[in-house]
Amino acid sequence: MPRRFHHSIRFKLLLVSLTLLGIPWAGYRFIHETEQFLRDAQQQSLQGTAQALSKLVAQQADGFTGQHLPGQANHRNNLYLHRWELAPVIDGYPDEWTLFEGNFTRYRLPDGSLGLELAAGEHAGQAYLLVRVSDTSRAYGAQGDRVDLSLSDGTQLTRLRIQPRAPGWIMGQRLQGRRFVAEPALRGEWQETDGGYVLEFRLPLTMLDKRMAVGVYNSADGNRLQTSRLFPAEEPGYLVRPSTAMQQLLAELTPPATRAWVVDHEGLVLAQAGRLDASAPLSADEQQLPWLVQQLMLAVLPHQADAEFAIPTHRSRLDLAPVNEALAGRPSGLRRSIPENDSIVVSAAVPVRGRDGVIGAVLIEQTTNAILSIQNLALQRLFAVTLVFFVVTSLGLLAFASLLTTRIRRLRNRLDRAVTHDGRIIGEISGGRSRDEIGELE
């Protein structure tokens, strides 16, 4: 009677050969543990680099604008002044400001009735501001809505006002004595939107000094919303610019394939240097491995991340969990994945301490591409060795099973020729030459 393959000795020995798959599993577990060790080592290395940079940056305390005390709420009183490569067109539309769309400083009343978003930049001796206001009840004229500015060097205060009679081209006013007079140096455009209005204007950079505050007034309900107090002269928030000295310091000390940031006590970026390694984990072996094998490698490699987001190099405020922790006085770290990329970015943030509190923070970022490359190489070797070992062993077991099956079948055929079904011996069984158990049966 023909015997099915799954009842044969060859099939059973093939099942036994599957136990060899435990070898790659054990190898993978070892690679995973090694990755964990390398990941912890990378995190500690970044933490140490950030600590060293924070001590050097703290020596340039004049570049910071304040301090953050333990338990203190982190207010957003300061305003950031970007550097423009091209001057925007003053038309009341934020088309040229899309580069800074993620850098608008946002304020809103608790009841949501009034909202303020603004960004500022400088180019060729002019300062440019874009103010977006959420206000459904708009009014114009001497008793209408307005935008107030306070400019100060810490002792002298200049108050400006924009209160147009109608949407369109506007000119500012300066407080002189007890009344506001025309200020031709401040010019811009006021455009209505569905939920409020947009104000885009410019003024000479010489009018700006250390401090600036912006406030909006809704004439319908008398609500006010401002970035900081408009007066007296020492109350407006600081006008923060990138620090050239810190930029040079970071450029000299930032390791390769690493990005470093320095922020003030409100999270505004004072300096940024370096870049992340943008190459994919398998980029070094793209031409050597088939696409299916690459995807298999990426599938089995661990990709543990706490969040998924990208940080553009032109970001002016770092509102991130590790930075906020560092500004509160606690070193912190984060693993994040980059959208549309296979890389994982490891970051470490430490506080920059002044005499009385935290004056800023240092953030160091680095991809895990080096670790992934080591894992990839190890998995390639493990995959190749396991495949060869499994194929050779399986073929050997199948050949051995076929030999045993042939000998047993030959013995059965000799028995069938020598003994009838009812047990009568009708012939002789010739003995075999083998000295193993089957040879003894023969």
What is the tens place of the pLDDT at every residue in 245-298?
Answer: 899 999 999 988 899 999 999 999 999 999 887 654 544 444 455 555 555 555
Contact 201, 207 (CB under 8 A): no
Give pLDDT, residue 81.
Answer: 93
Amino acid at 233: A
Give pLDDT, residue 147.
Answer: 97
Please say if the pLDDT value at position 25 is more than 80: no
DSSP 8-state assignment for residue 318:
-
Q: Quick one: tokens of 180?
A: 């506001």
> Residues in the chain, how many?
442
Residues of the chain above pLDDT 70, percent: 75
Cα gap 236→148, rounded to integer Å: 12
Closest to 333 in 3D by CA, of 43, 40, 38, 53: 43
Give pLDDT, residue 284.
Answer: 46
Please say if the pLDDT value at position 341 is more than 80: no
DSSP 8-state assignment for residue 303:
-
Cα gap 132→116, rounded to integer Å: 6
Q: What is the pLDDT of residues 2-12, one digit of tens each?
A: 556 555 666 66
Cα gap 93→96, rounded to integer Å: 8
Closest to 38 in 3D by CA, of 427, 408, 431, 373: 373
Cα gap 212→78, rounded to integer Å: 8
Residues β-bridged to residue 149: 160, 214
Give pLDDT, residue 286.
Answer: 45
Instruction: Compute CA distances 399 → 8, 11, 20, 427, whole Å.
Output: 13, 12, 17, 32
Mean of pLDDT values over 318-322: 91
Element (H, E) at 82: strand 79-83
Closest to 35 in 3D by CA, of 416, 266, 314, 378: 378
Cα gap 57→104, rounded to integer Å: 26
Query: Residue 232: is the preceding peptide bond cis (ω within 30°)?
Result: yes
Say which residue the tokens 């569905």 belong to. 194
Lowest mean pLDDT among 124-138, 397-411, 417-431: 417-431
* pTM across the whole model: 0.76
pLDDT class for 215, splitting at 50, 70, 90? Answer: very high
Write phi, then psi, for 3 (nearest 5 degrees): -100, 135
Please name the residues in contact with 125: beta carbons below 8 A apart, sequence gap of 6 or more. Answer: 204, 205, 206
Give me the chain's average pLDDT, please.
Answer: 82
Closest to 106 in 3D by CA, of 227, 238, 228: 227
Give pLDDT, residue 257.
Answer: 85
Q: What is the DSSP string of 209-247?
A: -SEEEEEEE-TTT--EEESS---STT-SPBEE---HHHH
Contact 67, 354 (CB under 8 A): yes
Contact 227, 76 (CB under 8 A): yes
pLDDT class for 182, splitting at 50, 70, 90? Answer: very high
Write phi, then psi, for 145 (nearest 5 degrees): -65, 155
Rounded to a whole number of angstroms, the distance between the first and last alpha carbons of the chain is 22
Say which residue the tokens 């939920």 belong to. 195
Question: Helical H runs in 301-368?
Answer: 321-327
Give pLDDT, residue 162.
Answer: 96
Cα gap 346→220, rounded to integer Å: 49
